[in-house]
Amino acid sequence: MTDTRLIQGRYRLLDVIGRGGMGEVWRAKDESLGRGVAVKCLKPLGPQHDESLVRVLRERFRREARVAAGLQHRGVTVVHDFGESDGVLFLVMELLEGRNLSQLLEDNKQRPLPVDDVVDIAEQVSSALAYTHEQGIVHRDLKPANIMRLADGTVKICDFGIARFGHDVGFTSRLTGTGVAMGTPHYMSPEQIGGSEVDQRSDLYSFGCVLYEIATGAPPFDLDDAWAVLVGHRDTPPRPPRRHRAELPGYFETIVLDLLAKEPAGRPRDARELGRRLTAGRALAHRPPIPAASHGGPDTPRGTRLPAWTRGMTTGRKATVGPVRATVPDPAAGLTGEWTPRADSRRTGPVLAPERPAPAPETVAVLVSRHNAGLSLGRLGRWTEAGEVHRAVAAEREHALGPDHPDTLASRYEVAFTLSRTGRATDALRAYGEVAEGRERVLGPGHPDTLAARQETAYVLGQLGRHFEAHQVYTAVLADRERTMGADHPDTLRCRHNLAFNLSRLGRLEDSHRIAREVAAARARVLGADHPDTLVTRYEVAYALGQLGRWQEALDTYREVAQARARSLGADHPDTLAARYEVGISLGRLGHSALALELYRALAADRARVQGAADPETLRARHGLGVNLGRLGRWDEALTEAREVCAAREHVLGAHHPDTLVSRREVAVGLGWLGRWEDALVEYRAVAAARDEVLGPGHPDTLASRNDEAHCLEQLGRGAEAVELYRRVAALRHGTTG
């Protein structure tokens, strides 16, 4: 592979920039996109591995590479692509300009790094670990060589997932006669040494070893003999870091010693807690004195340490405008100082920050905790409560930090999200628009977070039925994402997915199908065929096929998605159950009502078991069951099912909810088929009146209900009334479309 220096006709290797136990890292050029990348070429699997093991290891590599490719956080190295070329497994990653922590120590002649840099690195890595652990991913080989510090101060963790693959293949050394995987012994947790199952707290122990080394110049157990190192991790209390270096803050020493607890239960609960403790400790340790009423310059008070992302900003009682790095602080990080927005070139003069005293560190820490509580409520689906929390935090952050501080905008973004989730699309649209405008002022129009807010604006426009406007926004955001991130970046692909979805709502079904297929192929290549995002797009491909009348292809695709979701997410996962529901829709469209009936019967039972009998999705499955009973001519059973579902939906969702009205119409259909047209007329009129009230007289669903009512009048022999109603419907339809 290195002879041609070209991998898969796309990645041209230029020069080696690193070597390690697993292989080489090359500086390379992605000739398709014209950008610099780093390519890690793993050592070839030698003849000592039999063919069946090699197949297993290759599949393991692909699985772990997909894990790494799915991680999207500013503190984690981005994986663009992976594959195999001439028998060599490779990864394509973002090209980082900087030095890993091991190199920084070497550059400093093994002397410890400055205290402020150590604390900054600790905070950034804790944020990245919090994100990856929340994805259910443990690094397992955290060490200085796997943590990069870039030229602008950004810190990134490398080799997620791949470190574990290397461990399994046997690239790491082993203790003779023990069977214990050595990995990197200076950073291994006691549970790794003992061969026990590890979780996120093992990473926290390893990170404690890293912090100990960069703060003191040596790891906690700096011994030549590997076995002695492992015994030290397992049995020996580490020497307190301040005995090596007295200038280290007391809070920092306490945190490091907690990270190095022998038992996982003695360590911080998770990386979020670690980040909060670091932020609060730094803020309390360096709280500046309350200044006298002065009009000094923008210098930061001596001793105050701001996060790396604030570098280039100005602080103090009378701040002047300074450039802002295009990096948004993590929601779990606080700002102890002044926030100064960037100058806006479209205005006649610079934007000056208002005079605002620095918030108390305790206030910042409390707001961070409450923000995270709001996120937790959202993850539990308690959107109304989450919205209340985020609104309160946004108001307090605006008062303490200013309206354009990234933390304030982050809270307002979450407010908009909860509004969207609780059906208040108009309010969400306004809220997202304000966040997008604020982020554009502060971060610039092309910043990923500005684009995220604009993309959510497009989504809410779609919720409101304003699909043409949504299309315009999606198209503009997609162009910016492709320009700044590349065509295969997960955020770019997410935008293209949303564009495909919106095109189907515009009636551009062929375009929707084409783009969805392209996105599904790209996501399969970048993330893997069974990645949830890939399957979401394949689900959209199936939907477009159905809309095009290609129901057999839709059925086949929905079945494949359902099977893949069952493998990767589990048989009872809501997404798996949703795909099964669409299989039933496709079977019904193809006239296979008996098969659809059995599918919905089983699905309704599974939904009731997993989510409860009154859950809207359980009721949706029961509705499908009733529809197919009718298609099979079993109208007495169909009517009974429709009435029960309608009553349950009215209780759970409300009398005027669209799903309730659909069920009420199904009741009317059943009555009509049983010849009970007077009763059917009552139901049809009730549905039409409710839709008229909720949607308006000219809405297509309202007009369809009026047509149902007219048909019922015809069946009752009331032809004159039916004709008059048909005329009214035609006039309304002409008025809405003409």
**Long-range contacts for 20-25 (Cβ within 8 Å, ≥24 apart)?**
20/145, 21/166, 21/171, 21/172, 21/173, 22/162, 22/166, 22/171
Q: Bridge partners of 23?
A: 20, 42
Cα–Cα distances (Å) from 220 to 45, 232, 249, 256, in that order, read 34, 9, 17, 10
Give the separation between CA 305 and CA 327, rounded to whole angstroms: 18
Q: Is 160 left (phi over 0), alpha (psi -120 to 50) or beta?
A: beta
Give the separation between CA 262 and CA 282, rounded to whole angstroms: 25
Contact between 432 and 460 (Cβ < 8 Å): yes
- The closest alpha carbon to 523, from 535, 534, 511, 538, belongs to 534
Give the separation between CA 358 and CA 337, rounded to whole angstroms: 5
Please count the other Cβ atoms lying within 10 Å of the Cβ belonging to residue 560.
15
Instruction: Verify whether residue 533 is a known catalytic residue.
Output: no
Q: Bridge partners of 25?
A: 18, 40
Give the separation between CA 526 and CA 72, rounded to whole angstroms: 13
Q: Which residues of 229-253 are buried (b: 16+ CB within 10 A; e: fewer)?
A: bbebbeeeebeebbeeeeebbebbb
Which residues does 611 contact at the CB level (< 8 Å), separation at least 6? 574, 617, 618
Which residues does 164 contact at the CB level (< 8 Å), separation at least 6? 64, 139, 140, 141
Token output for 228 = 């002695």
Give the separation between CA 264 and CA 190, rounded to whole angstroms: 9
Residue from 30, 81, 141, 203 carrying the catalytic annotation: 141
40 annotated as ligand-binding: yes
Which residues does 451 contact at the CB level (< 8 Å), separation at least 6? 477, 480, 481, 491
Catalytic machinery residues: 141
| Residues that constitute the known binding site for ATP | 40
